[in-house]
Amino acid sequence: MRNEDVGPTANNNRNQMETALRMLNFYASRLQFVGVLILVSTLVNIIVVLFGFATIPAYTSNHSINYSDVRDKYTLIVVAIFAFVVISSVIFDQLRRLGSVLFEEISDDLEWHIDAERRTLDTLRVKESKNAPPLTVRLTLRHFAQSSELPLITGRQGLILYILLNLFVSIAELVSIRVYYP
């Protein structure tokens, strides 16, 4: 905000900007948390599948346990992990969309202030702006931009790739466990 901005309108705009920045920071923190949950869930899904391949035959051969009981419980675990990844992915996408709206509005607001300042500076023939956006605003925008990417698989297709990877692992496990343990 410029120093010339005074009065109730300037205070209201400043309060709105601070509120929007807090909300954007909240969304960024939640995106990081859910992104890590998706990554960890995917790794757990892969580990559970590998663990099942390695231990179910040995466990069921050493104990008098019905294959179908083990198979059904194992299937339930794999499906639950996949469902968790899908639900987490939907939450991640919703948070990213809500945050993107705020990100755009904050960016537009800053751009309007900078453009207005440039027009004023051009008429005064001054070359540099003294009122760049504050560091906290720039850091919050950058924090959100980085948080809106998933770990390891970046880009807009990262979410789809995580879901497809988990779907592939889950289907492969469910098919193989049904073939090996009919």
Question: By the 8 A CB rule, do 23 and 31 touch?
Answer: no
Identify which of 128, 164, 139, 162 has the alpha carbon closest to the alpha carbon of residue 34. 162
Largest distance between two CA atoms of the chain: 89
- What percent of the chain is modeled with pLDDT above 70? 68
pLDDT band per the 50, 70, 90 thresholds, residue 13: confident
| pTM metric for this prediction | 0.72
Instruction: Say yes or no to pLDDT of 83 above 90.
Output: yes
pLDDT of 126 reads 47
Residue 65 DSSP label:
-
Distance CA 172, CA 100 (A): 36
Judge whether 120 and 130 are in contact, CB under 8 Å: no
pLDDT tier at 147 (50, 70, 90 boundaries)? confident
Least confident of 25-39, 53-67, 112-126, 142-156: 112-126
Q: How many CA atoms lie within 13 A of 138 on its CB side?
A: 5
* pLDDT the model gives residue 36: 94
- What is the average pLDDT value for the chain, to the nearest integer? 77
